[in-house]
Amino acid sequence: MSHSRLLDELITALRCLPGVGPKSAQRAAFHLLERDREGGRRLGEVLAEAMARIGHCKRCRTLSEADLCAICADSGRDQSVLCAVENPIDATAIEASTGFRGTYFVLMGRLSPLDGIGPDELGLSELQQRLGEEPIEELIIATNLTVEGEATARYLSEMAAAAGVGASRIAHGVPLGSELEYIDSSTLAHAFAGRQRVRD
């Protein structure tokens, strides 16, 4: 409790942010009020607009304020390669790190029956339709290497096979720059089992 009702409301409202507890909410509120009112005003405006206007791209399901996201609307992208990812952050990471010029399908989650997330929640019937109707030659499966991400990958690869579309899975193994002795054993086992022949 502080000296002002509105300040208490601001501190409470800031706690909707992930990882923000009572202390950091307080610190953030004072920081904005004392040192960055313009930033706070701007954040308020953008939040209101974003919460009201951002929906999902009709084609790839990612977050977008337009019917089609910028990538789906870009006719220069290669329509023969489709990359399936769990969420928009993953697509952003692939855009930033790779030269990928195909399109995405954003699952907005992963198969998790215990949480009530099945194929319908991930829009997989739409994906199936696209695999059947569009000239897609490769489905790159870039779900995470977790139990659920792997189950989702298996489901997707079976869908691709049924539609006669080739499927690939991003490589998992030892990250660049790391040393074997510090790698966790599952990753090392994966990298070992997935070893590739050295070209001459």
Binding site for a second copy (CB under 8 A): 1-7, 9-10, 13-14, 16-19, 24, 26-34, 36-37, 39-54, 57, 60, 62-66, 69-72, 87-89, 91-92, 95-96, 108
- Taking the complex as a whole, the smallest distance from the CB of residue 178 to a second copy amounts, in Å, to 20
Closest separation between CB of residue 11 and a second copy, Å?
A: 9
Both structure tokens of 189: 């086992």
DSSP code per residue over 78-120: -TTEEEEESSHHHHHHHHHHS---SEEEE-SS--BGGGTB-TT
Please, which residue, 72 or 156, has the CB nearer to a second copy?
72
Residue closer to a second copy (CB basis): 18 or 135:
18
Beta carbon nearer to a second copy, 37 or 161:
37
Q: Is 144 exposed, middle or buried (0-12, 13-18, 19+ CB in 10 A)?
A: middle
Residue 198 C-beta: closest distance to a second copy, Å: 35
Residues 2, 23: contact at Cβ < 8 Å? no
Tell the burial category of 150 from Cβ atoms under 10 Å away from its Cβ (0-12, 13-18, 19+): middle
**In this complex, which beta carbon is closest to a second copy, that of residue 57 or of residue 136?**
57
CB of 58 to a second copy, least distance (A): 13
End-to-end CA distance of the chain: 70
Shortest CB 185 distance to a second copy, Å? 27
69 versus 167: smaller Cβ distance to a second copy: 69
User: Please, which residues bridge with residue 63 across strands?
Assistant: 56
70/24 Cα distance (integer angstroms): 35
CB of 12 to a second copy, least distance (A): 8
Radius of gyration of the chain (CA): 22
Q: Which is nearer to a second copy, 39 or 194 (CB)?
A: 39
